[in-house]
Structure 1
Amino acid sequence: MEIDDIPRLPVNTETHKFNDWIIVYHKSHILKSMCPNNHKCIKDDDSGNCCELCFYEHTLELPHLPEMVFSKNKLTLTHKNGAKIEFNPLDALARVANRGKSTIRVACAEEWKSSRGESANLQEVKPFDWSFTTDYEGTFNEKIRCEDTDAKLDIFKLMRKEHILFYHDLSLFEDELHDHGIASCSVKIRVMPSGFFILLSYFLRVDGVLIRMNGTRFHYETGNDYILKEYTSREAKFETIKHIPPAVYTTPSEIEKHLSITLKKTQKMFFD
């Protein structure tokens, strides 16, 4: 089958209005792995013939992309005054591209090779973050103003049972690290009568080496002129959590409790 013969897969989309916010999600298939133009696309070609794969490759300039990039998946929240918050895979991966080569990750790669005796497969340590670690916190337009704060997320409010008006879970990208673990990025949103909660999550598990989680939580309470945003980075080497049942390693919400916090910051995102 020629690539042009592949039927266009539908994009699933839904719009939800909540008070002064319009919430929209788009969800579709993963990015195609083949260029219909034999990789001769030009990113800035005004003819619009540049395929999506080449656009990603030219924009990010990564040695390679994750195995699964959900290029059309996107969550957008727009306030009536024009303030806009968006979550998309291109901007999430741009934070990987900007990080460059990390000595911590290279050290992990060497430990990974040594512990598994697979230097033949991993002899080349890419000059980029092969774990696709991203500290992406979302994409905001100029009408969002962020200020540091000592306020904390009210976990008890978030745990309170409420009617769910809207819920969705979107994958942004995923890679199985050559069957040695997983790196994934996703965003979830839950809308209740009292407000909305968003969790943007990056999860990394390099088997036998480490587990890392970067999570950004957004909590908006009805009546406020701001959204509380909390970014937390957690990490632990396998040797420090080897007492934990292996089944827990694959459940981010459970293993998170056993990881050490390496960075935490909280901000108020004003939109009025």
Structure 2
Amino acid sequence: MANETNVFRLPVDAESIRFNDWTISYEKSHILKSMCHLGSDKCCDKNDANRCELCNYQHSLELPHLPDMVFHKNKLVLQHKDGALMEFKPMDALALVANGKQAEEMEVACAQEWRETRAEQNMEQKYKPFDWTFTSTYQGTLNDKFRTESTTQSLNKMKLMQRENILFYHDLTLYEDELHDHGISALSVRIRVMPSGFFVLLRHFLRIDDVLIRMHDTRYHCEIENDYILKEYIHREAPCSALLQSPSSLWTNPDEIQNFLPVKSKELHKLFFE
């Protein structure tokens, strides 16, 4: 009999696993359409219960523009049997993008060029200020069944580095924008389930070419013997002029360049779920 681990698997749009009183699942689909179903110059009424997905995002967020690629149906969900619920969703993340305020240190030449390429999409809002880098400090969506406490306890990095069987893994992109070929702004979430527990990394990565690199990382680690999840939130960033000692080939790799970015802020919490 052939080894089942070597059998080719077709891509799937949803998967779930039951793990130690948790149900962990993801869903994924195509990107959000860039045109209302009524036509290129039309928009569903704000009070229309059956408005299209694009208009739902536009009315709900009221941003002058959306990222080039919004994976509106992509989401990761972790639910405990006692009711604690943790979700990672693109709309909740985009709701934290600064609206009505310019990203002060990002007002560079490419910002104007970026806006001008999108002027035809929404002329009446062309000059409305907002953070065109789509930076979000989103850390996930938790229900009120979690009890949160500040802590000094760090994630068990040695435990996470140990080789274990991977019971479940997936990496989801929530949104992405290439800033008119001047860099990238991307939010993604990945999950890894091992016999010892699970680990989630939610990351917003921003690179404006020759200007700045910024990362907002939120890590969750749950070990099966604990009744809590450890959460670590870290904000790193540096101007590109301060990164000239690092190989430029690393600037496009978040996992590598993070080691060269100074920490601007860090928070540690315990999330109790029982």
Q: Normalised by the size of structure 2, how large is the TM-score?
A: 0.87
- Aligned twin of 2:170: 168
Q: Letter of the aligned partner of 1:12 in structure 2?
A: D
Among 214, 233, 236, which residue is 1:234 paired with? Answer: 236
1:142–1:61 distance in 2 versus 1, CA, 3 Å: same
CA shift digits 1:54-113 (9 cap, x unpaired) = 000000000000000000000000000111000010001011146x424xx333223xx2
Residue aligned with 1:54, SS: helix
1:37–1:258 distance in 2 versus 1, CA, 3 Å: same
- Aligned twin of 1:198: 200
- Aligned twin of 1:101: 101
Q: Letter of the aligned partner of 2:43 in structure 1?
A: K
Cα offset for 1:122?
6.2
Check conservation: 2:114, 2:180, Cα contact below 8 A.
no
CA shift digits 1:153-174 (9 cap, x unpaired) = 1111100111100000000000
After superposition, the CA RMSD in angstroms is 1.9
Unpaired runs of 5+ in structure 1? 1-9
- Aligned twin of 1:42: 45
Structure-to-structure mapping, 1:18-167, within 5 angstroms: 18-38=19-39, 39-46=42-49, 49-97=50-98, 100-102=100-102, 105-110=103-108, 113=109, 127-167=129-169
Unpaired runs of 5+ in structure 2? 1-10, 117-125
Q: Letter of the aligned partner of 2:61 in structure 1?
A: L
Residue aligned with 1:184, SS: strand
Check conservation: 1:106, 1:125, Cα contact below 8 A.
no
Looking at structure 2, the residues matched to 85 and 183 of structure 1 have their Cα atoms a distance apart, in angstroms, of 24
Residue aligned with 1:71, SS: coil
Cα offset for 1:45?
2.4
Looking at structure 2, the residues matched to 120 and 94 of structure 1 have their Cα atoms a distance apart, in angstroms, of 24
1:245–1:73 distance in 2 versus 1, CA, 3 Å: same
Cα offset for 1:243?
2.2
Looking at structure 2, the residues matched to 185 and 199 of structure 1 have their Cα atoms a distance apart, in angstroms, of 11
Residue aligned with 1:170, SS: strand
Looking at structure 1, the residues matched to 115 and 52 of structure 2 have their Cα atoms a distance apart, in angstroms, of 31
Looking at structure 2, the residues matched to 58 and 11 of structure 1 have their Cα atoms a distance apart, in angstroms, of 31
Check conservation: 1:61, 1:97, Cα contact below 8 A.
no
Looking at structure 1, the residues matched to 23 and 247 of structure 2 have their Cα atoms a distance apart, in angstroms, of 42
Looking at structure 2, the residues matched to 238 and 125 of structure 1 have their Cα atoms a distance apart, in angstroms, of 28
Check conservation: 2:114, 2:179, Cα contact below 8 A.
no
Check conservation: 1:131, 1:204, Cα contact below 8 A.
yes
Q: Letter of the aligned partner of 1:131 in structure 2?
A: T
Looking at structure 2, the residues matched to 259 and 268 of structure 1 have their Cα atoms a distance apart, in angstroms, of 25
Looking at structure 1, the residues matched to 112 and 13 of structure 2 have their Cα atoms a distance apart, in angstroms, of 43
Which range moved further: 80-89 or 242-251?
242-251
Residue aligned with 1:157, SS: helix
Check conservation: 2:32, 2:72, Cα contact below 8 A.
yes
Q: Letter of the aligned partner of 2:198 in structure 1?
A: F
1:11–1:44 distance in 2 versus 1, CA, 3 Å: farther
Residue aligned with 2:135, SS: coil
Cα offset for 1:200?
0.1
Identity %: 57
Q: Normalised by the size of structure 1, how large is the TM-score?
A: 0.88
